[in-house]
Structure 1
């Protein structure tokens, strides 16, 4: 009797720990930049003029999940249009696309609902300026920031307030195609967020789930899946074509947000996946009447292995091949000067993790994919346009239709 009771208690405890391991949330955020630096622009006499830049706030959208029972927070923050406190004499903006970050809470959440945290985040900051002739200049620099603040977590809400320090805020700004000026971007800013926690694991521990989990550990069945989610890409290498011929262009320009669409089969007994993925990527560089656009449709065939399952956190790693169809277009003052199409096959790495409330029997789950292709590039005039991106698909919705049909037919 005591042995049976001990088994029931152990199973109940394991279910509770898997249930509480991760908690997704969705919310709003404000990044406040009260302290700004001076800006520089060329006047009609081609002389450098100084102007004052005012503070601003960037309203944003949060998507994330607390992990390890509330001790860690992995998230993305999607920026919208900055709102300036006052209008500057020269039109300019400083904003980010997608922040990727981690916060660590050293104190136990059960004892301290309001807790201090330390964090690290990185994002591509984009600086844009319009000169007196109406010409637009853009520059993107991936920057890191350290964070410290206070967070509040309850069953339904997750709130935080923090201060942030950007590391190495200096950069070079091209005031024309030939004049470059060192500038200082903001170093300090504040973050304020309010998020609603989502319950996505209800029903994940029912008897039918446990029965199917046992079956899928013994044989490969019901492994077909489809996935879709928003993804971003971080350039990781410089382009010799830009540096040597067009240095005033934004070398590290971020591709637009794009969908990551996948389909594959999960061999549940071996914890092995074979999948195909498609990602359409668009990268645009614009400055002083010159525009360069790279359209890249990337198809990947990949295989990866789940390493372990730690209370619902299941990391994986693998490799694959990527076939890229690429189109390069360039215009100079509205005159089309380049139009080329090419294809390339290159190896790639894939890694990430699943959040699995129901062990191996979830009808749907949330997956994080990261991809890197170290040899992806495009040749132009005996130089290279780098396409070496770190792709980051933070949250992909993955559906197992055969498992879903199994549960519906019970």
Structure 2
């Protein structure tokens, strides 16, 4: 995942500097001061923790050091100062003490979260918050002389609380994160599994820079028109054109949701529910503006890898999805949708010792997500988040089931409407 982080950062930068947020104004609550976008840079501290290594048949205790994790968050304070939605991108892991006989990885690679502020954010006021995030937590321990232990990854719900203070465009935040599920049944060898408890808390401090991107001082008439909409409206309200074509591109991650019978029997030391590397999610489609319906053809290429104790397993997918979904409502530009898709999957399964197998199959799925649309159907650059769920997907390896039941999560897709862009230039 690390080698694609620069591309993800660039994509997110383009997105949030285009249409995703608004500044708070004294004129009261309306559509264009519903949210405020920010960039956040900070560091997360995780304390040291006890672990184990294997010397022959003897299990020995060791101490893994405390660590620091610098990160970049991109998010928005929504609901007029009461809610904070964000994406967090951890940048590196810095271990504070070196161990010559063992090294470890304990970090997070995909984080999407939300925080609630009981008292709305205001300048020169300290405000408490509580929150939760959906994260991929990674753990790997490399111990001499083997150094071939696996990378374990888990989807986890993490909780946090803290304080935020700011003035103008600058804010500071300090908080504590809590992970209630911190036990790993980890293989020190192919047959020796031991329980390791990673830290169940961490602390963070950060600096935030908030920006205004939606309300333009040069478009006061347009601002006034948009602010006339009520908080909740029909997604098709105000649509002047039947429909528009669009193209979209973003990065996504897939999560296996079921265990594999084949891996449980053949490779019990592999990660139970594999998580893909970050991959490309590209689409082209047509938005029926007056009907609130979208049709799209999407391409994705997720790759799942497991490697440990001399065995390596790779699943490479090339998938095309034809999907149809409908916008359900519009709450100040937050526009959720729900629909169906049918996907054609080309799946290439390979393992060590030149074992390969290819599958071609169709799988039905569910598509759901939301657009950020403060500009209604006139907005030419849109932020789209979508999830695709495939509960029935499966393959057979040596007569044993290998579940492909998975959830695809496209954090942010940048969607561009060429005809809407041309129209905006004529105003």
TM-score by length of 1: 0.89
Alignment of 1:236-275 (within 5 A): 236-275=257-296
1:220-266: CA deviation from partner (whole Å, max 9, x where unpaired):
13x11111122222222111111122101112232111122111111
Structure 2 Cα separation of the partners of residues 63 and 303 of structure 1: 29
Aligned partner of 1:182 among 186, 195, 203: 195
1:285-328: CA deviation from partner (whole Å, max 9, x where unpaired):
01111110111112111111111111111111111111111111
Structure 2 Cα separation of the partners of residues 214 and 379 of structure 1: 45
Alignment correspondent of 2:343: 322
Alignment correspondent of 1:120: 132
Structure 1 Cα separation of the partners of residues 236 and 98 of structure 2: 63
Alignment correspondent of 1:220: 242
Aligned partner of 1:27 among 40, 43, 64: 40
Alignment correspondent of 1:69: 80
Query: In structure 2, the residue corresponding to 1:109 is in which secondary structure?
Result: coil
Unpaired segments of 5 or more residues in structure 2? 1-24, 227-234
**Which one is further off, 81-90 or 12-21?**
12-21
Structure 2 Cα separation of the partners of residues 246 and 266 of structure 1: 46
Determine whether 1:149 maps to 2:162. yes
Alignment correspondent of 2:3: none
**Which one is further off, 123-132 or 315-324?**
123-132
1:81-126: CA deviation from partner (whole Å, max 9, x where unpaired):
3101101241111111111211111112247742100011121211
Structure 2 Cα separation of the partners of residues 329 and 214 of structure 1: 47
Unpaired segments of 5 or more residues in structure 1? 1-11
1:260-291: CA deviation from partner (whole Å, max 9, x where unpaired):
21111111111111111111111110111111
Query: In structure 1, the residue corresponding to 2:262 is in which secondary structure?
Result: helix
Flag the 1:158–1:386 CA change in 2: closer, same or farther, 3 A: farther
May I ask how many residue pairs the two structures share in their alignment? 391
Alignment of 1:292-307 (within 5 A): 292-307=313-328
What's the CA shift for 1:72? 1.2
**Which one is further off, 88-97 or 383-392?**
383-392
Structure 2 Cα separation of the partners of residues 233 and 158 of structure 1: 34
Alignment of 1:335-350 (within 5 A): 335-336=353-354, 338-350=355-367
Determine whether 1:356 maps to 2:373. yes
Query: In structure 2, the residue corresponding to 1:136 is in which secondary structure?
Result: coil
Flag the 1:111–1:193 CA change in 2: closer, same or farther, 3 A: closer
Query: In structure 1, the residue corresponding to 2:164 is in which secondary structure?
Result: strand
Structure 2 Cα separation of the partners of residues 401 and 262 of structure 1: 14
Alignment correspondent of 1:129: 141
1:328-351: CA deviation from partner (whole Å, max 9, x where unpaired):
1111xxx33x11111121111111
**Which one is further off, 180-189 or 19-28?**
19-28
TM-score by length of 2: 0.85
Task: Work out whether residues 53 and 60 of structure 2, in 8 Å CA contact, stay in contact via their aligned partners in 1.
Answer: yes
Alignment of 1:192-231 (within 5 A): 192-203=205-216, 207=221, 217-221=239-243, 223-231=244-252
